[in-house]
Chains A and B, each alone.
Chain A
């Protein structure tokens, strides 16, 4: 019906019919995809910023932005314009090159992850056989940027923030990885399209309810921690470190960190959606009486399913962010190494047994 894969196919046939040179077609396609991703990236950031500001305001009994546009809808655009227009302040005693490179590394980390997401049936950048592995690997590139930013700023606050960030990301990467690994045991593939297709009848979270649910919760916590957002926002803990690793950045350089943080929130939610909640697969009940229901669900386009689920998870993350106080560094590490890590290891074993018994 409103599927995007037909549009993609249409563009492809149109291009290959009109331009006979194969490499040129490929080139144009790549450029088109790149532009689409950039646009999507920017639009998602705007939506997420507005969402965050509105939701946070509502949790706090406020109204949030209301001035720019109806209900403040154009507020994030105004924010972006402000950030673009702001002066990039050059600081005397920084490490000049690293200081400039850091924001790009951070944003590259999140942008590259974007390429492997499956937004709908047949809509996605690349889909290769180690997709999930690639995602885990590339999304942790961001920490390098954060460490560089903290070091290059030549400031004690930023350095403390960066070191905290390093400790935090390295630890939480583990349980996030193991939680995903648990699901790989169930799916038997690292390719994202395979993982999603495997959930056509029932999402993984329903296929193996107990271990998958545990893995899901662990992944949400660890993923939330990886995005450096409250209650895990120690690297930028504004009450003690003013702004943590990005204290010295201004203008669009700060904007890059800001964007990456929001998009990371989206990416974590997207991975959780793809691996646990069936990605773009509609909600299906595996029973004869539910056929009508299943048809109605399948009628909704796949990309709508994907974004719906992702934004649901983003909302959950916002709810958590605006409820809890920040952890202290020792609590943070304790949570990872004493709670999440052992549970996820046991859970991995549990899942293996589950798969052996039920499949």
Chain B
């Protein structure tokens, strides 16, 4: 009988303590994201490392850094990237492989980040953008190089000093 009453009292007390916790949480600030309303702040505060979408940065002269080597395409586990190149003759008469189209299918991308890790030119990068919804799947297939863009010329290295140590050949993009 005594244990019966004791259990009853302690049980009810524990229940009340639980109710106290929910009441405390009732008055705590709420965690719901008010998405379309806070869209501006949300987009501004996105972590810069967030892998939202693959992009190819262009500089103000509409130049990118991609040489069309295709390493990213080789490394992509899902065949999301297609690098289409064409042959072009330079002024000196040499034929050179240049990027024609850099096709990226957002719909099949797994955001593993291998492409950006392996790119020797750092020509592609991630944009922290999360609004990917479109109405047709074909809209997810994107061409990353802008029309009319060309590869940024590397800093012309004087022929007298053929080899320079380190990655100084970086163009001034970004």
Contact = CB atoms under 8 A, between A and B. Distances in A.
A and B touch in the complex (CB under 8 A): yes
Interface of A: 57-63, 66, 319-320, 322-324, 339
A322 B30 CA distance: 16
Main secondary structure of the interface of B (DSSP, over half): helix
B34 A66 contact: yes
B30 A59 contact: no
Nearest to A63: B32
B2 interface: no
Contacts of B31: 61-62
B26 A59 contact: yes
Given A319-B22, A319-B23, A63 B15 contact: no
B71 interface: no
Contacts of B21: 323
Main secondary structure of the interface of A (DSSP, over half): loop
Nearest to A335: B11
Nearest to B11: A339
Nearest to B29: A61
Contacts of A61: 25, 28-31
Interface pairs A-B: 9 shortest CB-CB:
A63-B32, A323-B22, A59-B22, A62-B32, A63-B30, A323-B19, A58-B26, A61-B31, A323-B18
5 contacts: A59-B22, A61-B29, A319-B23, A323-B21, A339-B8
- The interface size bin for chain B is 10 to 19
Given A323-B19, A324-B18, 14 more contacts: A58-B26, A58-B30, A59-B22, A59-B25, A60-B25, A61-B28, A61-B30, A62-B32, A63-B30, A66-B32, A319-B23, A320-B19, A322-B22, A339-B8
Contacts of B25: 59-61
B22 to A, nearest CB: 5
Contacts of A320: 19
Nearest to B7: A339
Interface string B147-165: 0000000000000000000
Contact of B19 (A57, A60, A63, A319): A319
B1 to A, nearest CB: 11
Nearest to B16: A323
Contacts of A323: 15, 18-19, 21-22
A324 B14 CA distance: 11
Contacts of A58: 26, 30
Interface string B1-44: 00000001000000100110111011011111010000000000
Contacts of B34: 63, 66
Nearest to A343: B8
B157 to A, nearest CB: 60
Contacts of B23: 319
Contacts of B30: 57-58, 61-63
Contacts of A63: 30, 32, 34
A58 to B, nearest CB: 5
A320 B18 CA distance: 9
Nearest to B18: A323
A66 B32 CA distance: 10
A63 B26 CA distance: 10
B131 to A, nearest CB: 18
Interface-central residue, B8, B18, B22, by most chain A CB under 10 Å? B22
A59 B25 CA distance: 6
B26 A324 contact: no
A62 to B, nearest CB: 5
Contacts of A57: 30, 32
A320 B32 CA distance: 23
A67 to B, nearest CB: 9
Nearest to A60: B25
